[in-house]
Structure 1
Amino acid sequence: MSLFGRIFLLNAIVLVVAGAALLLGPVTVSTPVLLTEVLIVGTGVAAVLVANALLIKFGLAPLDRLTRAMRTADLLKPVPRLPARGRGEVAELIRTFNAMLDRLEAERGFSAARALSAQEAERRRVAQELHDEVGQTLTAVLLELKRVADHADDEVRKELHQVQETTRASLDEIRRIARRLRPGVLEELGLTSALKALASESSDRAGLTVRHRIDPDIPPLDPQVELVIYRVAQEALTNTTRHARATRAELHLHVENSAVVLRVRDNGRGIGDSAEGAGISGMRERALLIGAQLQLASPPGGGTEVCLSVPVREPERR
């Protein structure tokens, strides 16, 4: 029976019972009204109101749960679907809402995959241009400066050496940016070497010391999974360098409960009540892309911990 039918039926039953009680019972209404009659009628009206309130409360309880789910739904943080409890339109509404969430998550996953693929392709293109165009140009400038300095007098040679150092520092920065845009070490040497290089590179900046622990029994992973793990570690260390005001960080990759787990923890100021920015949203999108779980927390000792758990499929473990 529909929700409308149940409410209408109960109201009809209550009114019929009340009318029968007035017709068949000994209760009468005098003129003027007696206090006893007022109490009896008031009690009856109160009973009708209580019965209606209870029916509406229990009948609409599934809708309250659905309302809370709608308010807290976040496509970047999937949660278990609501059980389709209730009857009639209520259960159908919950099933429709669950189907809508499934469709939205699937569409978002497809869109995120396309966007991230395009992003990686653009990063590779920019890194290639930085390496081939800007890098080679700066290298040529360095060679020309060296040639001119060899034929200049001492005072001019000293100034040219300063220009050489500035140009060499710019070339190193261009190469570092190109490596961050396109981690060639990940494609050539694998995830373990790439994470070690990332930790070493991050330790050279902003006075941050990064220690890494990478278990040797990491199973072979899909290239897309390795890229997601690398990008999450990269973004976590970038956030640590820019925002955490930390002096130490740890990068740990290990196998735990049939999953490859990446943990990046620092001793900074923690995430507090600050809203999640584009970097964290990007990490969540990448995690959803490979069916992984991403958690951010502030451990009891302070700082921030980023944990990425990637389920390992059986073929990969073999």
Structure 2
Amino acid sequence: MLIAITEAGWYLIGASALFLLVFTVFLLFYYKVQIRQNNYMLKEEQMRFEYQEQLLKTQLEIQEQTLKTISQEIHDNIGQALTLAKLNLNTMLPVEDDLLEQKIINSKELVSKAITDLRDLSHSLDTDYVQEMGLQRAIEYELERIQKTGAASAVLEVDGNAYRLSKQKELILFRITQEAFTNSIKHAEPKSIRVNMNYTAEGLIMVISDDGKGMDLLEVTAPNAGVGTRNMQSRADMIGASISFNSSPGNGTSINIFLPHENNKDA
């Protein structure tokens, strides 16, 4: 049975259709605005991240240039001056005064040790030298330097099949390790420092540990705390590595770093 649609009915249908059309257009417009806004926020967040990353990179480059300048200064000036002093001591004639002769011998030994220590320090500060050695050898070299000072026994353990990373990532990981060593020797008074480098299928795992006094993590990670842990965290973020700190007073400190394989490529 056919139902006759009155003029008012057609008007109602037309109005409903127009309302649906306007509502649909509004939804599409709103959806498009939301997408545009979300894209803008994502772009803004990406720009902020890139800015922070570039800022960290610039700061690192400035620090590395400063360290390189200090390294060259040590090698070219202080090292040469000590070498000349040693040569002068070596040319001194033997004397009959046993006490004076012993003082000369002691002076020669002290100057020789100073030359060796300065050369080792110069190498550890020199960016080019560190990158030439590679991360594993650079860390081993640094541990040998700590061992020679008598500050603590130092051991490097390597598991898995070692591989090289990009120069920048190796340098940043080395500087993080140096920061950890400095903090440990300066504040923890450890008897031993140990580094484990584990090359796994997922990525590189590094554990830097000591048996020192330990620390209160809430204090060292507070906003007004020192820059040591913040520097390590910022540098790890810069290369896409994760870093965590495990410590408590009297129980030593362990720093765990993980660099996934996908972040091991040259940036």
TM bucket normalised to smaller: 0.7 to 0.9
Contact 1:219–1:316 (CA under 8 A) maintained in structure 2: no
Equivalent of residue 310 in structure 1, options 243, 254, 259: 259
Deviations 1:39-78 (A, max 9, x none): xxxxxxxxxxxxxxxxxxxxxxxxxxxxxxxxxxxxxxxx
Instruction: Give, in whole Å, the separation in 1 of the partners of 2:124 and 2:60.
Output: 15
Contact in 2 for aligned 1:229/1:262 (Cα 8 Å): no
d(CA) in 1 for partners of 2:149 and 2:102?
28
Q: TM-score, normalised by structure 1?
A: 0.62
Cα shift readout 1:288-318 (whole Å, capped 9, x = no counterpart): 221211211228993211112112238859x
CA distance in 2, matches of 1:98, 1:301: 45
Q: Which has the higher contact order (CA 8 A, sep 6+)?
A: 2
SS at match of 1:107: helix
1:212 pairs with 2:162:
no
- Residue number in structure 2 paired with 1:193: 137
SS of residue matched to 1:204: helix
Deviation at 1:142, TM superposition (A): 0.6
Whole-angstrom distance in 1 between the partners of 2:65 and 2:186: 26
Contact 2:190/2:213 (<8 A) preserved: yes
| Aligned mates of 1:261, 1:253 — CA distance in 2 | 6
Runs (4+) off by over 6 Å: 91-99
Distance 1:252 1:129, change over 3 A: same
Query: Distance in 2 between the 1:128 and 1:117 partners?
Result: 16
Equivalent-residue separation in structure 1 for 2:264 and 2:88 (angstroms): 55
In the TM superposition, residue 226 of structure 1 has moved relative to its aligned partner by 0.9
For residues 40 and 57 of structure 2, the distance between their equivalents in structure 1, rounded to whole angstroms, comes to 26
Partner SS, residue 284 of structure 1: helix
Amino acid aligned to 2:211 = N
Tell me if the contact between 1:220 and 1:316 (Cα under 8 Å) persists in the aligned partners: no
Matched with 1:274 is 219
Unaligned runs of 5+ in 1: 1-90
Match of 2:15? none
Per the alignment, do residues 275 and 100 of structure 1 end up closer, same or farther by CA in structure 2, a change over 3 Å counting? farther
How far the C-alpha of 1:244 sits from its partner, in A, is: 1.6
Aligned counterparts of 2:247 and 2:126: Cα–Cα separation in 1? 31
TM-score normalised per structure 2: 0.72
Aligned to 2:191: 247
Equivalent pair of 1:244/1:268 in contact (CA under 8 Å)? yes
Structure-1 separation of matches of 2:42 and 2:130:
39
Q: Is the 8 A contact 1:299 1:305 kept in 2?
A: no
Residue 120 in structure 1 maps to residue 64 in structure 2: yes
Q: CA RMSD in A?
A: 3.2
Partner-residue secondary structure (3-state), 2:168: helix
How many pairs are equivalent? 228
Shift of the alpha carbon at 1:206? 5.0
Residue type at the aligned position of 1:129: E
CA distance in 2, matches of 1:261, 1:172: 32
* Structure-2 change in CA distance of 1:220 and 1:313 (3 Å): farther
Letter in 1 for 2:86: L
2:172 to 221, 224, 228: 228
Aligned to 2:82: 138
Write the distance in 1 (CA, Å) between the matches of 2:53 and 2:245. Answer: 21
Which one of the candidate residues 82, 91, 114 is aligned to 1:170? Answer: 114
Tell me by how many angstroms 1:274 deviates: 2.1
Equivalent pair of 1:206/1:241 in contact (CA under 8 Å): no
Give the direction of change, closer, same or farther, for the CA distance of 1:108–1:172 in structure 2 (3 Å limit). Answer: same
Pairing of 1:150-169 with structure 2 (within 5 A):
150=93, 152-155=95-98, 156-169=100-113
Larger gyration radius, structure 1 or structure 2: 1
Partner-residue secondary structure (3-state), 1:268: coil
1:108 aligned to 39, 52, 62, which one? 52
Q: Distance in 1 between matches of 2:119 and 2:263?
A: 39
Matches within 5 A, 1:16-95: none
Q: How far apart are residue 168 of structure 1 and its match?
A: 2.5
CA distance in 1, matches of 2:263, 2:111: 51
Identity percentage of aligned residues: 23
Question: 2:208 is paired with a residue of what secondary structure?
Answer: strand
List gaps (5 residues or longer) in structure 2.
1-34
Aligned equivalent of 2:238, options 273, 277, 289 = 289
1:196 to 1:315, Cα distance in 2 relative to 1, 3 A = closer
Shift in alpha-carbon separation, 1:271–1:98, aligned structure 2, 3 A:
farther
